[in-house]
Each structure stands twice: as C-alpha cells, then as structure tokens.
C-alpha cells in the first residue's frame, strides 16, 4: 500500500481551528478574577479590574473552589467583606474555564431575578471573555436561564420547590442560605436538600454555600460545622509579628474620653486603636492593609488526612474599608439594644446569636429586688414611663424609672378600678427622688388600645381608650397596639381617623397610635433581666415586689415550634404586668421619637449650662446653684 503523505498541521489549520482546539489556561479562581473580572460602578465602590490583593483573605477560599479535591465550600462571613463577589468569581470561572450545568439559588424567585439582572448579567457583559461566550440567540440568554458553550446557568428561588427540581447540575451555588424560607409542606424537603439531589450523578460535583450567620441553628452554621475543617484568618502584629485572630475586645479607646459628651461616639470613631494581645502595642487602622496581605488562614482543628469540604469564617474587623473606630463606635451604638446588638453580632462579628430566653423562674425575677422602696426614684433616673393594660373590669399598670444608660427601676405596679384613678396616677401623683427634696412625674405613658367588649356599655375597650386619649392625653399618654406581623423596626406610627368597626365614627384630626413589635420588646425585657446588676441596662425591682408580679412576668416563655422557629407562648393565663413592662419599655426606646436619649442629651446640656452659669456667677461674686434636672423635675 502506497504510504500517504504527512499532513503539515502548521499550514492546514486556520486560526479559528486553533482557537477551538486550544486547551484552557490552567488558572485558579483568584488568577482568573485578576485577569478577567471587571467591577462596575453600579455594584462596587471601587470599579475597575478585580484585584485580589485588595481583599487578600479571599484568595484561599476562591482557590479552594478550583481545587479538584474540594466538593463543598462554606463561607460564613460578615456582611460587606466580599463573600458575594468571591462567589461571582467562582461562577465566572466555571463559565469560562470548566463549564457544566449550574444551579444558582437565591432566597426567593424575585431576588433571583433581581440578582440576574443587576449582578450576574452585568458581570458577564463587563468581561470580554465571558461576553464572547454569550449565545447569539437572545432567547438562550434570559433572566432565569443562560446558555453558554457546554453548560446552562439556571437561577431559582428557595421559595419555589419546583424550580429546584428541574434538571441535573454539577455545580450548585447557595447565596444567603439563612434567609431561605421554611418549607411548609410536609412532603417537601428543605431547599438545600432539594437542590443537592440534582448533583447525585456527578462524581466531580461542587457546592458553594454563602451566608451571614443568624442563630445557632441557621443553615450556614449547620453546614459549616459539617465541614472537614474550619478556618479563621490570622494576621501578624506590625510590631512583634504575633499571629492572631482579630477580636472586638482588642479594639481600645483612650481612657480620658467622656462617655456623657454629645460627641462621644465621634471621638471614639476618630481615636480608637487595636491593641496587640501579645506585646500590647497600639495598632492603627493604617496598618491593616499590610496585616491583611501577610495574613494566613489558620485551621481551628487539626485537618484530617483527606479534606473534601472546607469552611471559612470572617468578621468585619478584616474589612479594608472599615477603621477600628467605625467598628467600636457601631458596637457602642448597638450594645444597649438587643435587636441592634443581634445585628452587630451577625453582620459585623459573623457570630451566631443565642436566643436570649427560653424560660425563667419567678424566684429568678425576684432576685432583682433592691432596697429601694416603692414610690421612690433613684437619683440616677432621668425619666419615668408607664405601661398600661386595660382589662374588662380594671386597669393594670407599671411605672418604671430609667437612667440614661437604660438601667431601670420598678417604681410602682397596681390594678386600678377606674379611668379616674388612672388619670390621677399619670397626671397628678408625684414620686420622691431618693435623698433629695425633689420629685418626678410620669414623662410618657403607653396605653394598650386593643381589647374586649364591655357588656354594660356595648363599647369595645378600643373605643373607650380612644375616647379617653382624645380628652386627656396632654402630650403624655399615648395609645399603643401590638403588631400582628413581623415588623422591620420595633415601633411604627399610625394615624387612626375612625373609631373601630365598619360604621365607626370619624375622629376629627385623627389620633396617633404607636404600633409595637411586642415580641421584640419582650425579648428586650428578658434581655435586661439577664444583665448583671452592676452593668448598664440592669433591670431592678422595688423592695416590696411580690410573687404575683413575678408570675405575670414569667407567664410567657420563648420556645421552639415544630418548624424550628422561636416564638412566645403563654404558660399562664395572666401576663398583664409583662405587657405593661413592654409598653413602659417602648416609651423609653430610641425608636419612639428618640426615647430617653433625648432627655439624656438635654440634661447633659443643662449640666453644661449650669456649670457655665456657676462660673459666671463666681466671677460676679454671686454664687448660685442650678438644678441640672430642672426641666424634668419640679421642686417639692
């Protein structure tokens, strides 16, 4: 057989042929991002080419995704430290370097649509390499499904089980898993299990799970604890080189700052520094960039011989965009409010929040009694608030005194038989300040407007309260109502223009009612009951507080329902003093027109004015003392 001539491959292949057969570059995710990812002004504060060196702590987690041995990657990060951008880098790497079917799961279908239009598709269009892979047919590049060579990218919402069980996929991306809704149907699995079922036929499957933590039973925390190894980021001290994890307790402020100053938080923001736990030298915010660059991921436990899953934990202390002062001042603004503190722990420290209370005994409540007798106000108090709960045959109320740091004292609680008695309590009764000749009166009172029908008059208690407030509120007494839904904030103003019922009589000028998230305020009350008695927000009772009050306070417990949610449930019939404490706490809360913070600021200004007046009088040889509380108290 006549031999065939050799084909000269250097001349017969076109450039298009060469490009088609050229093997992909061997890149890690971080290398790919540095070469091909572009950040847009619409979604980034630093638009332009991606630079991993800006957030060096993202390099190892991203490169773990491109490691063929790693099957599951979990990022439990604080908010706004780059975890979502790292996930988009992994997605871009898949499309360009290792294509296979992808399922990208968001908490809801609507959020998936938003993410596709505003984050994923703009990312693809901004990169020359990714844009060249888009299909020519626009029907193959839609909001919820995008086709690329060798793969299909599908987006789904965790609230739609059907969208999670449509087709096999090698890659699954889970974003903000702690915000996924609970599956209500008994015959459906949870969203993560449903999506992972799509991967069973792939030996080289990969899953990335990303979220800010919430509670200890949150999904990202569960997934993190199931990983073979967990890592935290260690950085070196610029003075001694000591490698350590950044922690909030090491952020310090100068000792001479006055916490009562109206500019205190600004001074903290400008002067805070980090103290090395080893050499105790101060580390300034300008040192952070070099520390991050030299940092390493440190395993919390000894890694096993074979690692198939990795988890990474990172707090906002590592953010290159935040100073030590930003973090410490935010903590100071949050620490006196359980809801804000919860957000700070989750979104800033990347720590889980432990539910504050499940149950509490009456004896534990009475342990908060002091030697202060009823009707006597601590000299540290700046205001008195009252919580009032009208019932069918009488009216429950509590009166609580508040210091500027939200330490509080129970002054009085009782059961009244008439609205005339309530008028006297709110507007006429006076409460002596311990060790002085001064007294205080109620600054703000909150009256529950929901209730039962009076069989004698035919009026609902709501109508009765509305009518009483229209006549007697005097800018001191206000109507409140518990919300029947989960509120973003704890307090919301609402204007009522008619009495209850379909044929309710119009209310001329309307009536302002404050809608309360009572669950959050119950959380606040029990949070304060957990505080040490020598710390801010301590919750004190007067010396004659009895077991009946304690039984009311413990009449509701926070328990976990069948869906895993923590809810308040009654364990005893009477919980009226607990409701009253909730309303009294709402009066003092900053979300109610500034709360007692307004009084604290004005008293501080009054003290400064008093000091200035005293100095001026001394110069004029006319000594005079000005009562710093004179705007809030009256002489006996």
| Residues 419 and 281 placed together within one structural domain of the fold | no
* Residue 484 banded pLDDT, cuts 50, 70, 90: confident
- Nearest Cα neighbor of 224 from 74, 349, 350, 351 is 74
The per-residue pLDDT for range 370-412, each reduced to its tens digit, is 999 999 999 999 999 999 999 888 999 999 999 988 999 999 9
Which of 127-141, 209-223, 550-564, 583-597 bottoms out in mean pLDDT, i.e. has the lowest? 550-564
pTM of the complete model beyond 0.85: no
Residues 195-224: what's their mean pLDDT?
91
Give the pLDDT of residue 594: 87
Tokens of 471: 């006549």
Task: Please tell me the number of Cα atoms within 13 Å of 422 on its side-chain side.
Answer: 26
Residue 130's CB: how many other CB atoms inside 10 A?
19
Pairing of strands 282-283, 273-275: antiparallel
- Same domain for 369 and 503: yes
pLDDT of 298 above 60: yes
Band (pLDDT 50/70/90 cuts) for residue 562 is low
Give the CA-trace dihedral at 373, 376, 379, 383, to 10 degrees.
130
Please state, for a pLDDT cut of 70, what percent of the chain lies above it: 85
Q: What is the CATH number of the domain that holds 588?
A: 3.30.420.240
Q: Looking at 235-244, 325-334, 478-487, 575-584, which range is the least confident one? A: 478-487
User: Which residue has 């980021």 as its token pair?
Assistant: 233
Residue 480 CA to residue 478 CA, distance in Å, equals 7
In a domain, 496, yes or no: yes
Count of structural domains within the chain: 4
Strand positions, DSSP E, 15-166:
38-39, 48-49, 72-77, 102-106, 145-148, 151-157
Residue 92, SS3?
helix
Q: Are 560 and 623 members of one domain?
A: no
- Pair (504, 405) in one structural domain: yes
Asked if 238 contacts 283 with a C-beta cutoff of 8 angstroms, the reply is yes
Answer yes or no: are the C-beta atoms of 384 and 629 closer than 8 Å: no
Are 435 and 346 within one domain? no
Burial annotation 413-423 (CB, 10 A radius, 16+ → b, else e): beebeebeebb
Which whole-number Å values give the CA distances from 452 to 24, 394, 449, 457, 483, in the listed order? 74, 12, 10, 12, 17
Q: Write out the residue range of the structural domain in which residue 37 sits.
A: 29-226
* 218 domain-assigned: yes
Same domain, 155 and 53: yes
Contact by Cβ (8 Å): 161, 183: yes
pLDDT score, position 636: 33
460 or 515: which carries more pLDDT confidence?
Answer: 515
Q: Tens digit of pLDDT for each residue in 494-524?
A: 888 777 765 677 777 778 899 999 988 998 8
Q: Show which of 183, 209, 226 is a domain's final residue.
A: 226
Q: What is the pLDDT of residue 457?
A: 53
The Cα–Cα gap between 358 and 566 comes to 9
- Half-sphere exposure of 149 toward its Cβ, with a 13 Å CA cutoff? 9
What CATH number is given to the structural domain containing 141?
A: 3.40.50.300
One domain for residues 515 and 595: yes
In the predicted model, is pLDDT for residue 18 greater than 50? Answer: yes
Do 137 and 253 sit in the same domain of this protein?
A: no
Mean pLDDT of 58-74: 96
343 domain-assigned: yes
Q: What is the pLDDT of residues 121-170, one digit of tens each?
A: 999 999 999 999 999 999 999 999 999 999 999 999 988 877 777 678 99
pLDDT band at residue 10, thresholds of 50, 70 and 90? Answer: low
Let me know if residue 4 belongs to a domain. Answer: no
pLDDT-derived band at 635 (thresholds 50, 70, 90) equals very low
- How confident is the model over 345-371, as pLDDT tens digits? 999 999 998 765 445 677 889 999 999
**What is the distance between the alpha carbons of residues 468 and 390, in angstroms, rounded to a whole number?**
12
Classify residue 202: in a domain, yes or no: yes
Whether 558 shows a pLDDT value over 90: the answer reads no
**Tokens read off for 503:** 């044929």
Nearest Cα residue to 558 out of 329, 280, 357, 338: 357
Q: Is 471 found in the same domain as 395?
A: yes
> Is 13 inside a domain boundary?
no
Residue 404 belongs to some domain of the structure: yes
* 555 and 425 co-located in one domain: yes
Q: Are residues 378 and 460 in the same domain?
A: yes
- In this structure, are residues 144 and 113 in contact, taking their beta carbons and an 8 Å threshold? yes
Contacting residues for 106 by C-beta, under 8 A, at least 6 apart = 112, 115, 155, 156, 157, 158, 175, 176
Instruction: Identify whether residues 586 and 627 lie together within a single domain.
Output: no
Q: If you average pLDDT over every residue of the chain, what do you get?
A: 86
Residue 583 resides in a domain: yes
């Amino acid at each position: 057989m006549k031999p065939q001539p050799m084909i000269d491959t250097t001349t017969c292949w076109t450039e298009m042929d060469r490009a088609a057969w050229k093997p992909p570059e061997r890149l890690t995710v971080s290398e790919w991002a540095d070469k091909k990812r572009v950040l847009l002004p619409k979604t980034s504060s630093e638009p332009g080419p991606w630079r991993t060196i800006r957030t060096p702590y993202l390099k190892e987690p991203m490169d773990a995704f491109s490691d063929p041995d790693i099957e599951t990657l979990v990022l439990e990060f604080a908010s706004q430290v780059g975890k979502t951008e790292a996930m988009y880098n992994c997605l871009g790497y898949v499309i360009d370097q290792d294509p296979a079917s992808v399922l990208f799961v968001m908490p809801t279908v609507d959020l998936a649509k938003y993410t596709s239009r505003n984050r994923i598709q703009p990312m693809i269009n901004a990169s020359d390499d990714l844009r060249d892979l888009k299909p020519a047919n626009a029907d193959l590049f839609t909001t919820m499904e995008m086709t690329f060579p060798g793969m299909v990218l599908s987006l789904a919402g965790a609230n739609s089980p059907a969208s999670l069980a449509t087709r096999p996929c090698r890659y699954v991306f889970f974003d903000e898993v702690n915000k996924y809704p609970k599956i209500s149907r008994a015959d459906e699995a949870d969203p993560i299990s449903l999506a992972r079922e799509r991967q069973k036929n792939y030996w080289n499957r990969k899953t990335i799970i990303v979220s800010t933590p919430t509670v200890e039973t949150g999904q990202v925390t569960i997934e993190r604890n199931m990983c073979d190894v967990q890592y935290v980021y260690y950085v070196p001290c610029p003075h001694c080189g000591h490698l350590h994890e950044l922690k909030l307790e090491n952020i310090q402020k100068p000792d001479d700052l006055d916490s009562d100053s109206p500019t205190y938080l600004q001074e903290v923001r400008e002067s805070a520094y980090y103290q090395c736990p080893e050499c105790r030298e101060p580390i300034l915010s300008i040192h952070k960039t070099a520390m991050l660059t030299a940092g390493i991921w440190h395993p919390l436990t000894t890694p096993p011989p074979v690692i198939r899953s990795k988890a990474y934990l990172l707090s906002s202390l590592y953010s290159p965009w935040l100073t030590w002062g930003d973090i410490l001042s935010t903590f100071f603004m949050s620490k006196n409010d359980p809801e804000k503190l919860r957000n700070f722990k989750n979104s800033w420290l990347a720590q889980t929040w432990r539910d504050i209370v499940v149950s509490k005994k009456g004896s534990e409540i009475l342990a908060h009694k002091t030697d202060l007798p009823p009707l006597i106000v601590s000299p540290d108090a700046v205001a008195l608030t009252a919580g009032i709960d009208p019932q069918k045959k009488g009216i429950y109320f509590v009166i609580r005194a508040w210091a500027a740091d939200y330490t509080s004292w129970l002054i009085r609680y009782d059961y009244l038989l008439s609205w005339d008695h309530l008028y006297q309590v709110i507007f006429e009764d006076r409460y002596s300040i311990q060790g002085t000749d001064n007294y205080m009166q109620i600054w703000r009172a909150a009256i529950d407007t929901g209730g039962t029908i009076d069989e004698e008059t035919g009026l609902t208690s709501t109508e009765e309260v509305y009518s009483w407030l229209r006549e007697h509120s005097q800018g001191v007494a206000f109507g409140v109502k518990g919300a029947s839904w989960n509120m973003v904030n704890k307090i919301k103003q609402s204007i009522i223009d008619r009495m209850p019922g379909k044929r309710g009589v119009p209310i001329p000028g309307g009536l302002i009612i404050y809608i309360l998230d009572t669950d959050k305020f119950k959380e606040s009350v029990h949070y304060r009951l957990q505080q040490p008695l020598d710390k801010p927000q301590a919750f004190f009772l007067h010396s004659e507080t009895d077991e009946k009050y304690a039984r009311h306070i413990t009449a509701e417990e926070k328990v976990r329902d069948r869906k895993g949610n923590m809810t308040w449930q009654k364990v005893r019939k009477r919980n009226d003093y607990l409701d009253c404490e909730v309303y009294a706490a709402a009066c003092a809360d900053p979300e109610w027109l500034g709360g007692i913070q307004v009084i604290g600021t004005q008293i501080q200004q009054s003290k400064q004015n008093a000091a200035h007046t005293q100095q001026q009088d001394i110069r004029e040889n006319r000594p005079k003392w000005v009562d710093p509380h004179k705007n809030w108290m009256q002489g006996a």
